[in-house]
Structure 1
Protein backbone atom coordinates (compact mmCIF):
# COMPACT_ATOMS: atom_id res chain seq x y z
CA UNK A 1 0.00 0.00 0.00
CA UNK A 2 2.80 2.38 0.89
CA UNK A 3 4.61 1.60 -2.39
CA UNK A 4 1.47 2.48 -4.35
CA UNK A 5 1.22 5.86 -2.58
CA UNK A 6 4.87 6.62 -3.37
CA UNK A 7 4.32 5.72 -7.03
CA UNK A 8 1.26 7.97 -7.26
CA UNK A 9 3.10 10.87 -5.58
CA UNK A 10 6.10 10.40 -7.90
CA UNK A 11 3.83 10.36 -10.97
CA UNK A 12 2.05 13.54 -9.85
CA UNK A 13 5.33 15.39 -9.22
CA UNK A 14 6.81 14.21 -12.53
CA UNK A 15 3.69 15.21 -14.46
CA UNK A 16 3.56 18.57 -12.74
CA UNK A 17 7.18 19.36 -13.56
CA UNK A 18 6.86 18.21 -17.17
CA UNK A 19 3.63 20.15 -17.71
CA UNK A 20 5.18 23.38 -16.41
CA UNK A 21 8.40 23.12 -18.42
CA UNK A 22 9.04 25.82 -21.02
CA UNK A 23 11.62 25.97 -23.78
CA UNK A 24 12.52 29.57 -22.92
CA UNK A 25 14.14 32.14 -25.22
CA UNK A 26 15.09 31.21 -28.80
CA UNK A 27 17.81 32.90 -30.85
CA UNK A 28 18.01 32.58 -34.61
CA UNK A 29 21.13 30.71 -35.75
CA UNK A 30 22.02 31.25 -39.39
CA UNK A 31 19.01 32.11 -41.56
CA UNK A 32 15.53 31.33 -40.27
CA UNK A 33 14.34 30.64 -43.82
CA UNK A 34 12.34 32.85 -46.16
CA UNK A 35 9.37 30.54 -46.85
CA UNK A 36 7.09 28.22 -44.89
CA UNK A 37 8.91 25.28 -46.48
CA UNK A 38 12.28 26.49 -45.12
CA UNK A 39 11.04 27.82 -41.76
CA UNK A 40 13.27 27.34 -38.72
CA UNK A 41 11.55 24.98 -36.24
CA UNK A 42 11.38 26.35 -32.70
CA UNK A 43 8.69 24.03 -31.27
CA UNK A 44 6.46 25.22 -28.43
CA UNK A 45 7.06 26.78 -25.05
CA UNK A 46 9.24 29.51 -26.55
CA UNK A 47 9.07 32.71 -24.50
CA UNK A 48 10.90 34.98 -26.95
CA UNK A 49 12.54 34.99 -30.37
CA UNK A 50 15.59 37.05 -31.36
CA UNK A 51 17.06 37.33 -34.83
CA UNK A 52 18.21 39.54 -37.65
CA UNK A 53 16.54 40.35 -40.97
CA UNK A 54 18.17 42.03 -43.97
CA UNK A 55 16.85 44.48 -46.54
CA UNK A 56 13.52 43.25 -48.02
CA UNK A 57 13.95 39.77 -46.54
CA UNK A 58 11.89 37.46 -44.30
CA UNK A 59 12.49 35.19 -41.33
CA UNK A 60 10.04 32.30 -40.89
CA UNK A 61 9.70 30.33 -37.64
CA UNK A 62 7.73 27.10 -37.22
CA UNK A 63 5.83 26.66 -33.94
CA UNK A 64 3.95 23.54 -32.80
CA UNK A 65 1.18 23.35 -30.21
CA UNK A 66 -0.24 20.10 -28.81
CA UNK A 67 -3.30 21.85 -27.37
CA UNK A 68 -5.40 24.97 -27.87
CA UNK A 69 -3.74 28.19 -26.68
CA UNK A 70 -4.17 31.95 -26.69
CA UNK A 71 -1.11 33.02 -28.72
CA UNK A 72 0.29 36.53 -28.12
CA UNK A 73 3.31 38.41 -29.44
CA UNK A 74 4.52 41.43 -27.46
CA UNK A 75 7.50 43.51 -26.39
CA UNK A 76 8.89 43.97 -29.89
CA UNK A 77 12.24 45.74 -30.03
CA UNK A 78 13.55 47.92 -31.47
CA UNK A 79 10.37 49.94 -31.65
CA UNK A 80 11.63 53.11 -33.32
CA UNK A 81 11.19 51.90 -36.91
CA UNK A 82 8.05 51.49 -38.99
CA UNK A 83 9.43 49.15 -41.64
CA UNK A 84 8.39 45.69 -40.50
CA UNK A 85 5.54 43.22 -40.72
CA UNK A 86 4.92 40.36 -38.30
CA UNK A 87 2.48 37.67 -39.53
CA UNK A 88 1.06 34.42 -38.13
CA UNK A 89 0.08 31.66 -40.59
CA UNK A 90 -1.56 28.27 -40.09
CA UNK A 91 -0.18 25.01 -41.49
CA UNK A 92 -1.83 25.51 -44.89
CA UNK A 93 -0.30 28.99 -45.23
CA UNK A 94 -3.46 30.98 -44.48
CA UNK A 95 -2.74 34.29 -42.77
CA UNK A 96 -4.36 34.36 -39.29
CA UNK A 97 -3.04 37.63 -37.85
CA UNK A 98 -0.69 40.38 -38.92
CA UNK A 99 0.83 43.57 -37.61
CA UNK A 100 2.15 45.93 -40.29
CA UNK A 101 4.54 48.61 -39.04
CA UNK A 102 4.06 47.19 -35.55
CA UNK A 103 7.29 48.66 -34.21
CA UNK A 104 6.15 52.16 -35.06
CA UNK A 105 2.48 51.85 -34.03
CA UNK A 106 2.50 49.55 -31.02
CA UNK A 107 6.13 49.03 -29.98
CA UNK A 108 7.37 49.18 -26.47
CA UNK A 109 7.41 47.05 -23.40
CA UNK A 110 4.08 45.43 -22.67
CA UNK A 111 2.63 46.15 -26.11
CA UNK A 112 0.71 43.17 -27.51
CA UNK A 113 0.74 43.31 -31.31
CA UNK A 114 -0.79 39.90 -32.12
CA UNK A 115 -3.33 38.12 -29.93
CA UNK A 116 -5.33 35.20 -31.30
CA UNK A 117 -6.72 31.87 -30.13
CA UNK A 118 -5.26 28.89 -31.99
CA UNK A 119 -6.00 25.18 -31.94
CA UNK A 120 -3.45 22.39 -31.72
CA UNK A 121 -1.20 22.11 -34.77
CA UNK A 122 1.71 23.69 -36.63
CA UNK A 123 1.93 27.46 -37.15
CA UNK A 124 4.39 29.83 -38.82
CA UNK A 125 5.45 33.27 -37.67
CA UNK A 126 7.22 35.57 -40.13
CA UNK A 127 9.18 38.78 -39.56
CA UNK A 128 9.58 40.84 -42.73
CA UNK A 129 11.52 43.96 -43.69
CA UNK A 130 9.11 45.87 -45.95
CA UNK A 131 11.03 48.99 -47.01
CA UNK A 132 13.70 48.83 -49.73
CA UNK A 133 17.03 50.38 -48.87
CA UNK A 134 16.41 50.35 -45.11
CA UNK A 135 17.78 47.10 -43.70
CA UNK A 136 16.03 46.39 -40.42
CA UNK A 137 18.74 44.39 -38.66
CA UNK A 138 18.33 42.84 -35.20
CA UNK A 139 14.94 42.29 -33.58
CA UNK A 140 13.35 40.45 -30.66
CA UNK A 141 9.83 39.84 -29.41
CA UNK A 142 8.12 37.97 -26.62
CA UNK A 143 5.66 35.10 -27.05
CA UNK A 144 3.00 34.21 -24.52
CA UNK A 145 1.03 30.97 -24.73
CA UNK A 146 -1.94 30.72 -22.39
CA UNK A 147 -3.55 27.28 -22.28
CA UNK A 148 -7.25 27.08 -22.96
CA UNK A 149 -8.55 25.15 -19.99
CA UNK A 150 -12.16 24.03 -19.96
CA UNK A 151 -13.90 24.74 -16.67
CA UNK A 152 -14.84 21.67 -14.60
CA UNK A 153 -18.41 21.71 -13.32
CA UNK A 154 -18.18 22.00 -9.53
CA UNK A 155 -21.29 19.95 -8.56
CA UNK A 156 -20.19 17.00 -10.71
CA UNK A 157 -16.68 17.10 -9.32
CA UNK A 158 -17.92 17.16 -5.74
CA UNK A 159 -20.29 14.27 -6.44
CA UNK A 160 -17.46 12.16 -7.89
CA UNK A 161 -15.19 12.96 -4.94
CA UNK A 162 -17.98 12.03 -2.52
CA UNK A 163 -18.60 8.72 -4.29
CA UNK A 164 -14.87 7.96 -4.22
CA UNK A 165 -14.62 8.68 -0.50
CA UNK A 166 -17.74 6.61 0.21
CA UNK A 167 -16.24 3.73 -1.80
CA UNK A 168 -12.99 3.91 0.13
CA UNK A 169 -14.87 3.95 3.44
CA UNK A 170 -17.00 0.99 2.39
CA UNK A 171 -13.93 -0.99 1.26
CA UNK A 172 -12.07 -0.24 4.50
CA UNK A 173 -15.10 -1.22 6.60
CA UNK A 174 -15.47 -4.47 4.64
CA UNK A 175 -11.77 -5.35 5.26
CA UNK A 176 -12.06 -4.71 9.04
Structure 2
Protein backbone atom coordinates (compact mmCIF):
# COMPACT_ATOMS: atom_id res chain seq x y z
CA UNK A 1 0.00 0.00 0.00
CA UNK A 2 1.26 3.46 -0.83
CA UNK A 3 1.87 5.54 2.25
CA UNK A 4 0.63 9.07 2.62
CA UNK A 5 3.21 11.82 2.58
CA UNK A 6 5.51 11.77 5.60
CA UNK A 7 4.35 14.10 8.31
CA UNK A 8 0.83 14.38 6.96
CA UNK A 9 -1.60 14.12 9.85
CA UNK A 10 -4.30 11.47 9.52
CA UNK A 11 -7.89 12.54 8.95
CA UNK A 12 -9.70 13.54 12.11
CA UNK A 13 -12.81 11.72 13.28
CA UNK A 14 -14.77 14.90 12.53
CA UNK A 15 -13.46 14.93 8.93
CA UNK A 16 -14.29 11.25 8.49
CA UNK A 17 -17.79 11.87 9.87
CA UNK A 18 -18.23 14.65 7.29
CA UNK A 19 -17.01 12.32 4.53
CA UNK A 20 -19.52 9.67 5.56
CA UNK A 21 -22.43 12.14 5.82
CA UNK A 22 -21.59 13.58 2.42
CA UNK A 23 -21.25 10.10 0.91
CA UNK A 24 -24.69 9.13 2.21
CA UNK A 25 -26.16 12.34 0.79
CA UNK A 26 -24.49 11.69 -2.58
CA UNK A 27 -25.72 8.09 -2.49
CA UNK A 28 -29.29 9.41 -2.20
CA UNK A 29 -28.60 11.28 -5.44
CA UNK A 30 -27.49 8.13 -7.24
CA UNK A 31 -23.75 7.90 -6.58
CA UNK A 32 -22.46 4.68 -5.05
CA UNK A 33 -21.19 5.15 -1.52
CA UNK A 34 -17.43 4.72 -2.08
CA UNK A 35 -17.50 7.19 -4.98
CA UNK A 36 -19.22 9.59 -2.61
CA UNK A 37 -16.54 9.03 0.03
CA UNK A 38 -13.74 9.68 -2.45
CA UNK A 39 -15.48 12.78 -3.76
CA UNK A 40 -16.17 14.08 -0.25
CA UNK A 41 -12.58 13.53 0.87
CA UNK A 42 -11.23 15.26 -2.23
CA UNK A 43 -13.41 18.25 -1.34
CA UNK A 44 -11.67 18.76 2.02
CA UNK A 45 -8.25 17.07 1.84
CA UNK A 46 -4.88 18.71 2.16
CA UNK A 47 -3.03 18.54 -0.12
CA UNK A 48 -5.73 18.82 -2.80
CA UNK A 49 -4.14 16.02 -4.83
CA UNK A 50 -4.29 12.50 -3.39
CA UNK A 51 -2.87 9.19 -4.60
CA UNK A 52 -4.93 6.04 -4.65
CA UNK A 53 -2.85 4.90 -1.68
CA UNK A 54 -3.73 8.07 0.20
CA UNK A 55 -7.42 7.44 -0.48
CA UNK A 56 -7.18 3.80 0.60
CA UNK A 57 -5.47 4.81 3.83
CA UNK A 58 -7.63 7.76 4.85
CA UNK A 59 -10.93 6.14 3.87
CA UNK A 60 -9.92 2.80 5.39
CA UNK A 61 -11.04 1.17 2.16
CA UNK A 62 -9.81 -1.57 -0.12
CA UNK A 63 -7.71 -0.81 -3.18
CA UNK A 64 -10.44 -2.34 -5.33
CA UNK A 65 -13.21 -0.12 -4.00
CA UNK A 66 -11.10 3.03 -4.35
CA UNK A 67 -10.12 1.97 -7.85
CA UNK A 68 -13.77 1.41 -8.80
CA UNK A 69 -14.68 4.82 -7.38
CA UNK A 70 -11.93 6.67 -9.26
CA UNK A 71 -12.71 4.76 -12.47
CA UNK A 72 -16.25 6.14 -12.16
CA UNK A 73 -15.42 9.68 -11.00
CA UNK A 74 -12.74 10.48 -13.58
CA UNK A 75 -14.83 9.82 -16.71
CA UNK A 76 -17.81 11.53 -15.05
CA UNK A 77 -15.78 14.73 -15.07
CA UNK A 78 -15.99 15.37 -11.32
CA UNK A 79 -12.44 14.24 -10.59
CA UNK A 80 -9.33 14.46 -12.69
CA UNK A 81 -6.35 12.14 -12.68
CA UNK A 82 -2.97 13.80 -13.04
CA UNK A 83 0.61 12.65 -13.13
CA UNK A 84 3.78 14.40 -12.10
CA UNK A 85 7.00 14.20 -14.08
CA UNK A 86 9.36 11.62 -12.64
CA UNK A 87 6.68 9.92 -10.50
CA UNK A 88 4.93 6.67 -11.27
CA UNK A 89 1.90 7.39 -9.09
CA UNK A 90 -1.25 9.08 -10.31
CA UNK A 91 -2.96 11.76 -8.28
CA UNK A 92 -6.65 12.60 -8.05
CA UNK A 93 -8.27 15.96 -7.38
CA UNK A 94 -11.61 17.68 -7.81
CA UNK A 95 -11.82 19.13 -11.28
CA UNK A 96 -11.74 22.93 -11.10
CA UNK A 97 -15.10 24.55 -11.90
CA UNK A 98 -16.90 21.22 -12.13
CA UNK A 99 -20.09 22.03 -10.21
CA UNK A 100 -21.61 24.61 -12.55
CA UNK A 101 -20.54 22.55 -15.56
CA UNK A 102 -22.26 19.43 -14.20
CA UNK A 103 -25.40 21.32 -13.26
CA UNK A 104 -25.56 22.95 -16.69
CA UNK A 105 -25.18 19.59 -18.42
CA UNK A 106 -28.06 18.21 -16.34
CA UNK A 107 -30.14 21.28 -17.16
CA UNK A 108 -29.67 20.60 -20.88
CA UNK A 109 -31.92 17.56 -20.43
CA UNK A 110 -34.88 19.61 -19.21
CA UNK A 111 -36.09 20.44 -22.70
CA UNK A 112 -35.98 16.78 -23.70
CA UNK A 113 -38.26 16.02 -20.74
CA UNK A 114 -40.60 18.77 -21.96
CA UNK A 115 -40.59 17.30 -25.47
CA UNK A 116 -41.23 13.73 -24.38
CA UNK A 117 -43.99 14.70 -21.96
CA UNK A 118 -45.64 16.74 -24.72
CA UNK A 119 -45.57 13.61 -26.87
CA UNK A 120 -47.19 11.64 -24.06
CA UNK A 121 -49.83 14.31 -23.53
CA UNK A 122 -50.65 14.20 -27.27
CA UNK A 123 -51.05 10.44 -27.05
CA UNK A 124 -53.35 10.85 -24.03
CA UNK A 125 -55.25 13.89 -25.40
CA UNK A 126 -58.60 12.07 -25.26
CA UNK A 127 -57.92 10.33 -21.95
CA UNK A 128 -59.59 11.46 -18.74
CA UNK A 129 -57.78 14.35 -16.97
CA UNK A 130 -57.03 12.16 -13.97
CA UNK A 131 -55.01 9.77 -16.14
CA UNK A 132 -52.93 12.63 -17.59
CA UNK A 133 -52.30 14.40 -14.29
CA UNK A 134 -48.93 12.77 -13.40
CA UNK A 135 -47.58 13.42 -16.87
CA UNK A 136 -48.96 16.99 -16.87
CA UNK A 137 -47.25 17.66 -13.53
CA UNK A 138 -43.91 16.43 -14.88
CA UNK A 139 -44.34 18.45 -18.07
CA UNK A 140 -45.20 21.65 -16.24
CA UNK A 141 -42.30 21.27 -13.83
CA UNK A 142 -39.66 20.68 -16.52
CA UNK A 143 -41.12 23.40 -18.75
CA UNK A 144 -40.75 25.79 -15.82
CA UNK A 145 -37.17 24.64 -15.17
CA UNK A 146 -36.25 24.96 -18.86
CA UNK A 147 -37.56 28.53 -18.82
CA UNK A 148 -36.02 29.57 -15.48
CA UNK A 149 -32.57 27.94 -15.65
CA UNK A 150 -31.06 30.43 -18.15
CA UNK A 151 -32.07 33.25 -15.79
CA UNK A 152 -30.56 31.40 -12.84
CA UNK A 153 -27.29 30.72 -14.71
CA UNK A 154 -27.04 34.38 -15.71
CA UNK A 155 -27.50 35.42 -12.09
CA UNK A 156 -24.88 32.89 -10.93
CA UNK A 157 -22.35 34.16 -13.47
CA UNK A 158 -23.03 37.78 -12.53
CA UNK A 159 -22.58 37.03 -8.82
CA UNK A 160 -19.38 35.10 -9.47
CA UNK A 161 -18.08 37.98 -11.62
CA UNK A 162 -18.92 40.45 -8.86
CA UNK A 163 -16.94 38.32 -6.40
CA UNK A 164 -14.01 38.46 -8.81
CA UNK A 165 -13.72 34.70 -9.31
CA UNK A 166 -14.32 34.79 -13.02
CA UNK A 167 -15.58 31.20 -12.83
CA UNK A 168 -18.91 30.16 -14.31
Structure with the greater relative contact order (CA < 8 A, sep ≥ 6): 1 or 2?
1
| TM-score bracket for this pair, using the shorter chain length | under 0.3
Q: Name the one with the larger helix percent.
A: 2
Q: Name the one with the larger strand percent.
A: 1
Question: So what's the TM-score if we normalise by structure 2?
Answer: 0.26
Q: Which is higher, the Rg of structure 1 or of structure 2?
A: 1
